[in-house]
């Protein structure tokens, strides 16, 4: 599946072509699918490399309904917002889909501008969420790269302790604390303790500090 901002899944070729033209005219790349199984088969190829996209999904389709397609898409772990397109009498099913995690729904016929506006809102939300996830992964990798001593110093910083207090608690010099502090800031990609605290606050609870390695046993005297 090629990266696309809009995935249109509808078994009506006129609707598919019309929506593809609409989004192409607004500068978006659109991909069309004539059934749930066809779309899902292509979506599986995107696992772990989803990118940012929005799905327009018709409620009533054959051989697989939009609701069933949506459940399969969630099972794949797909983060794309799904906006259901519903006909007369389908509002109840659309509301149920919202409760199950869908982004929104629109009743046919709908205004082109309204549809584009809602898709743009969903795409902006998906992009923001994706960026936040990437930052969270980066921070977790950075945390994992800290040495046990750096993690101890970090925990002291997060509690608001000053360098001298940290040095006393850990039995090291203030100069050593400053050295570890500089390393922590560099690895975590921050410039201040306040910035570090804000970033780590989004990752709570923090993983535990790894235990320090035990010293080797003293050699036995002859």
Q: Which residues pair with 73 in a beta bridge?
A: none
Runs of H (alpha helix) within the chain: 13-25, 36-43, 66-75, 91-99, 112-145, 148-158, 163-170, 174-188, 193-201
Q: Domain map of the chain by residue range?
A: 6-137, 146-201
CATH code given to domain 6-137: 3.40.50.2300
pLDDT at 203: 67
Average pLDDT over residues 183-204: 80
pLDDT category of residue 217 using cuts at 50, 70 and 90 = low
Residue for token pair 């992009």: 127
pLDDT category of residue 206 using cuts at 50, 70 and 90 = very low
**Alpha-carbon torsion (131, 132, 137, 142), positive or negative:** positive
DSSP 8-state class, residue 46: G
DSSP 8-state class, residue 211: P
Asked whether this chain's domains 6-137 and 146-201 adopt the same fold, the reply is no
Average pLDDT over residues 185-202: 82
Residue 24 has pLDDT above 60, yes or no: yes
**Cα 201 to Cα 193: distance, rounded to the nearest angstrom:** 12
Average pLDDT over residues 70-74: 93
CATH code given to domain 146-201: 1.10.10.10
> Where does residue 156 rank: exposed (0-12), middle (13-18), buried (19+ CB within 10 A)?
buried
pLDDT digits (tens, 9 = 90+) for 120-170: 988 888 777 767 777 777 888 888 888 989 999 988 887 888 888 888 988
Residue 213 has pLDDT above 80, yes or no: no
Average pLDDT over residues 105-122: 88
pLDDT category of residue 7 using cuts at 50, 70 and 90 = very high
């Amino acid at each position: 599946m090629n990266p696309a901002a809009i995935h249109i899944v509808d078994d009506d070729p006129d609707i598919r072509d019309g929506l593809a033209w609409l989004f192409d005219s607004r500068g978006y790349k659109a991909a069309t699918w004539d059934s749930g199984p066809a779309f899902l088969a292509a979506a599986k190829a995107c696992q772990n490399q989803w990118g940012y996209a929005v799905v327009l999904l018709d409620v009533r389709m054959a051989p697989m309904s939009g609701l069933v397609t949506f459940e399969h898409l969630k099972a794949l772990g797909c983060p794309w917002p799904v906006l259901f397109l519903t006909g007369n009498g389908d509002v109840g099913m659309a509301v149920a889909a919202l409760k199950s995690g869908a982004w929104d729904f629109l009743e046919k016929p709908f205004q082109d501008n309204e549809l584009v506006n809602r898709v743009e809102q969903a795409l902006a939300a998906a992009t923001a969420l994706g960026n936040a996830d990437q930052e969270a992964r980066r921070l977790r990798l950075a945390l994992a790269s800290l040495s046990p001593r750096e993690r101890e110093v970090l925990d002291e910083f997060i509690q608001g302790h000053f360098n001298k207090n940290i040095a006393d608690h850990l039995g090291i010099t203030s100069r050593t604390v400053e050295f570890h502090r500089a390393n922590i800031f560099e690895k975590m990609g921050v410039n201040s303790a306040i910035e570090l605290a804000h970033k780590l606050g989004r990752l709570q609870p923090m993983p535990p500090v790894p235990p320090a390695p035990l010293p080797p046993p003293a050699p036995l005297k002859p």
